Amino acid sequence: MGIAKQPSVVTLPPASVPYPSIVDFLCRVFPAISRDKWAQRIRDGKVLNDSGEPITAKTPYSPSKRIFYFREIENEPVIPFAEQLLFQDDELLVACKPHFLPVIPGGRYVEECLLNRLRNRTGLADLTPLHRLDRETAGVVIFSVNPKTRGLYHELFTHGKVEKTYHALGGVNHLPQEKNWIVENRIVRGEPRFRMKIVPGTPNARSLIQLLQVKGHQGLFRLQPVTGKTHQLRLHMSGLGFGIINDRVYPDLQPETEDNFDKPLQLLAKQIRFHDPVAGGVREFRSAREIQSKSFSSTTR
């Protein structure tokens, strides 16, 4: 069984009076875990309050309070690909994530995530990701090392002051006249919840997309997200008719199967660039990975 060494956290949201029990809340938020298991975890002292003290079955529900729990997964899958450490100093750690590896614990993954791999590798218990990549996406991920300066770097991502460049391999059924697109629309959660969708309304997602090369029925694209909505690039590529190769979610949701390690999503977070608020000057971090295609190499900038 995989048991997380670091706790996960959930905030108790506003609720109608009478408040639910904490067990009721946990069962509603995490329906895959049975009521008996949550009750046993509480009895075993594995669910904690803000002060790090175990709660009990009688602990009252208190909106806005946080509770901490340790993820437990039976038969955790092993991802047979290694991360690459690109940079480390007193403020930042930068790694290149392989395909199929989540950034943080979630679903069936506890120790098999980039965060916990790096914590175990470096001994940095306070390591925290400043942004996320989809589990299926490979590429550059930046972590905060120093809690005292973490907020300064978080602000860069929150206010869109980080320049991100991705490379993708998309299906091209015909040679388009255009080679550059600005895609703007509104993205919200769909059904099931992990699948996003485009709806009418004020745009909240914007991407710059450039077609670099076409060979056969595949094109090599440079993608620059201006905003950071979940699955934004995958949706925008699909909407243009250039669905990313090996995407099992867009344009059509495929039946759930075990990972096929021979067919990774052809999306790579190639480069991140920003002005460092602590060290000063411009920082640029670039992945050495390339799009996996015999026809293309993603060495282009």
pLDDT (tens digit per residue) in 38-67:
999 999 999 999 889 999 999 999 999 999
Over range 176-195, report the average pLDDT. Answer: 93
Same domain, 63 and 112: no
CATH number at residue 95: 3.30.2350.10
In this model, does residue 300 exceed pLDDT 60? no
Token pair recorded at residue 214 = 């076409």
29 or 222: whose pLDDT is higher?
222
Over range 130-147, report the average pLDDT. Answer: 97
Give domain status of residue 115, yes or no: yes
Give domain status of residue 49, yes or no: yes
Name the residue type at position 226: V
* End-to-end Cα, the chain, rounded Å: 43
Give domain status of residue 126, yes or no: yes
In this model, does residue 108 exceed pLDDT 90? no
CA distance 156 to 187: 22
Same domain, 64 and 132: no
Over range 178-183, report the average pLDDT. Answer: 96
Last residue of a domain, which of 43, 73, 103? 73
Same domain, 93 and 117: yes
The number of distinct structural domains making up the chain is 2
CATH number at residue 60: 3.10.290.10
CA distance 127 to 150: 10
Same domain, 90 and 148: yes
In the prediction, which pLDDT does 297 show? 55
pLDDT (tens digit per residue) in 62-96:
999 999 988 887 788 899 999 999 999 999 999 99
In this model, does residue 5 exceed pLDDT 90? no
CA distance 266 to 258: 18
For the whole model, what pTM was predicted?
0.82
Same domain, 92 and 148: yes
Q: Of 256, 171, 239, whose CA–CA distance to 205 is shortest?
A: 239
162 or 31: whose pLDDT is higher?
162
Last residue of a domain, which of 139, 160, 181? 160
Give domain status of residue 67, yes or no: yes
110 or 133: whose pLDDT is higher?
133
Backbone angles phi, psi at 25, to 5 degrees: -60, -45
Same domain, 66 and 132: no
Same domain, 104 and 156: yes
Alpha-helical segments (H) within the chain: 22-29, 35-43, 114-122, 150-158, 232-239
Give domain status of residue 278, yes or no: no
In this model, does residue 218 exceed pLDDT 70? yes
Last residue of a domain, which of 29, 51, 73? 73
The total of other beta-carbon atoms located within 10 Å of residue 5's CB is 11
Same domain, 68 and 122: no
Which residue range is the domain that position 145 belongs to? 84-160
Same domain, 155 and 88: yes
Same domain, 88 and 156: yes
Same domain, 43 and 105: no
In the prediction, which pLDDT does 294 show? 59
In the prediction, which pLDDT does 231 show? 97
Over range 13-37, report the average pLDDT. Answer: 90
